[in-house]
Amino acid sequence: MEITLTVNGRAQALELDPRTTLLDALRDHLQLTGTKKGCDHGQCGACTILLNGRRINACLTLAAMHEADEIATIEGLAPPDDPGALQAAFLHHDGFQCGYCTPGQIVSATGMLEEARAGWPSHVSPNLEAEVALDRSEVAERMSGNLCRCAAYTGIVEAILETAEQERDVEPREAAE
- In 3D space, the residue among 165, 61, 27, 160 whose CA is nearest the CA of residue 102 turns out to be 160
174 binds other proteins per the rule CB under 8 A:
no
Contacts (CB under 8 A) with other proteins, residues 78-117? 78, 80, 83, 87, 90-92, 94, 96-103, 106, 108, 111-112, 115
Among 5, 7, 57, 71, contact with other proteins (rule: CB under 8 A): 57
Of residues 100, 91, 101, 93, the one with CA closest to residue 143: 101
Contact between 18 and other proteins per CB under 8 A: yes
Secondary structure (DSSP) of 116-170: HHTT---TT-S-TTSPP---HHHHHHHTTT---TT--HHHHHHHHHHHHHHHHHH
Size, binding site for other proteins by CB under 8 A: 90
Q: Which of 37, 85, 162, 167 binds other proteins (CB under 8 A)?
A: 37
Does 9 interact with other proteins (rule: CB under 8 A)?
Answer: no
Compute the C-alpha angle 108/114/118, nearest 5°: 140
1 binds other proteins (CB under 8 A): yes
Q: Considering the rule CB under 8 A, would residue 146 count as an interface residue with other proteins?
A: yes
Q: Which of residues 12, 131, 135, 144 is near other proteins by CB under 8 A? A: 144
Distance (Å, whole) CA 143 – CA 145? 5
Q: How far is the CB of 134 from other proteins (least distance, A)?
A: 13
